[in-house]
Structure 1
Amino acid sequence: MSDPAPTLATQDLRLGYRERAVIDGLNLSFPPGAVTAILGPNGCGKSTLLHALARLAPPRAGRVTLGGEDVARMAPRALARRLAILPQSPVAPEGITVAELVRRGRAPWRGLLAPFSAADAQACAEALAAVAMTGLAERPMAELSGGQRQRAWVALVLAQATPLLLLDEPTTFLDLPHQIELLALLRRRNRAAGTTVIAVLHDLNLAARFCDHLVLLGPDGLVAEGPPDRVMTEAALMRAFGLAARVLPDPVTGGPMVVPL
């Protein structure tokens, strides 16, 4: 089991590119031990926010804190032991196999010349099994389908064994059954180990079904945040997406289900 998840938060956060601010004055506290989806239209800053949480996008103002500590002041190895990030469309080194890729997730826990330990091997084996990739461990990444490659990347961040997981569109390249399978896996990981999961997602109904907490961004910043039934409202969807929709009870979960008009 992972260590208890610290709280990840933003304080007066401002992010942008050149002269354009995409996030301005954002104050959020992501609930620890929960599954959170970051939602919103293209260009609203979802991925930029996720990158800032992992210290990959330096803020123009404000800060990101992890357990009350400014992530900008944390040593890289210390941060990598507390959170793992899967960016959108990562690129694998040429010729690398699935197993070799997943082994890289253990780097924060090993010294520069330290041998690969039994604990490292077990973490990698469990991560591969979790995404049903054990039988493909020795296959080169270049020979895999897009969906298989995505599952291999998810195995890498699972092998890192951190109390926080940040994933940028983790369902990319996956067909609907595998999208559901992956989101169910992340929720099981959350429930079993208390892992905090924060993911950028596009499918509103999958987000409402599998997540405990939603952060909805729009062209003008934060629209709403909180439990799905509080965030997924017709007014909020119109403000964020310009989307005319009905929000009805999901026949399976009873939670909100978006039906575009």
Structure 2
Amino acid sequence: MILRAEGVSLGYGGRRVVENLSLDLPPGRMTAILGPNGCGKSTLLRALARLIEPLAGRVTLDGADLGRENTRQLARQLAILPQAPLAPSGITVAELVGRGRAPWRALLAPWSESDNEAVRRALDAVSMTQQADRRVDELSGGQRQRVWLALVLAQDTPILLLDEPTTWLDLPHQLEVLKLLQARNRSAGTTVISVLHDLNLAARFFDYLVLLGDDGLVATGAPEQVLTEENLRRAFNLASRVLPDPVTGTPMVVPL
């Protein structure tokens, strides 16, 4: 499924943060959206998920205007993990993750074994099975982030949209989450589109990068095409050296 922005302009309260952006998000790939604070990364992701309406242009899924898609059908095609989501007070881990099954269940339909299995798989994937009966508000920030990731995994969609999914996680758990997303992409062909801040983790785990700057789109393509010293200067006003990662050979950004 091809998700595409066509001449999209986005903003809030009369202030435009994205102007006339056209972009194809390649299906079955791991795409990271990068750029400085305030350049519109999260705004773009929200538009790709139909959480906000473009001021101009449109977002399409396989050529169909996202704004005209049936909400339930759309929720079976893509799932989004926004920044800093809030859980209802007192809800348990398993109950929250179970909400990811809503698009697949008819109104008043009984909970099924397939729903149970989807929740179990999602909790196991993020190593939170043992916490299933705990209240979400009792968990650490990192644990809560893993529960939210489990919710979008339980939704079982071909496209995942993630806004800084490694927020609140220490480095080992950041690597764990990115390896999980990479495995999901490789085993199921899931399209993963994520806003990230860490350029080196993006280069290591994502095969397609979108680099935004204050003046719009700077570059798209493979990590070695996008993470160049000139592009980083344009996007971040950052003086840097780009060297091969000694472990993976992917680009590694060293600020000067």
Given the alignment of the two structures, is residue 36 of structure 1 paired with residue 36 of structure 2, yes or no? no
Given the alignment of the two structures, is residue 84 of structure 1 paired with residue 82 of structure 2, yes or no? no
Q: CA deviation at 1:123?
A: 0.6
Alignment partner for residue 220 of structure 2, among 225, 229, 240?
225
- What letter matches 1:72 in structure 2? G
Q: Mapping of 1:70-81 within 5 angstroms?
A: 70-81=65-76
Once the two structures are superposed, residues 136-174 of structure 1 have per-residue CA deviations (whole angstroms, 9 ceiling, x without a partner) of 000000100000000000000000000000000100000
- What letter matches 1:194 in structure 2? G
Q: CA deviation at 1:187?
A: 0.4
Alignment partner for residue 188 of structure 1, among 183, 186, 189?
183
Q: CA deviation at 1:18?
A: 2.0
How far apart, in 2, do the equivalents of 1:213 and 1:116 lie? 38
Aligned to 1:215: 210
Aligned to 2:237: 242
Instruction: Point out 4+ residue stretches in structure 1 off by more than 2 angstroms.
Output: none
How far apart, in 1, do the equivalents of 2:14 and 2:236 lie? 24
Alignment partner for residue 144 of structure 1, among 115, 139, 144?
139
Given the alignment of the two structures, is residue 254 of structure 1 paired with residue 249 of structure 2, yes or no? yes
Q: CA deviation at 1:202?
A: 0.3
Superposition RMSD in Å: 0.5
Q: Which runs of 5+ in 1 are unaligned?
A: 1-5
Aligned residues: 256
- For the residue of structure 2 that corresponds to 1:254, the secondary structure is coil
- What letter matches 2:35 in structure 1? G
- What letter matches 1:239 in structure 2? R
Q: Mapping of 1:1-261 within 5 angstroms?
A: 6-261=1-256
Q: CA deviation at 1:19?
A: 2.5
Q: How high is the sequence identity, in percent, across the aligned residues?
A: 69
How far apart, in 1, do the equivalents of 2:71 and 2:232 lie? 38
TM-score (norm. length: structure 1): 0.97
Q: Which runs of 5+ in 2 are unaligned?
A: none
TM-score (norm. length: structure 2): 0.99
Q: CA deviation at 1:112?
A: 1.2
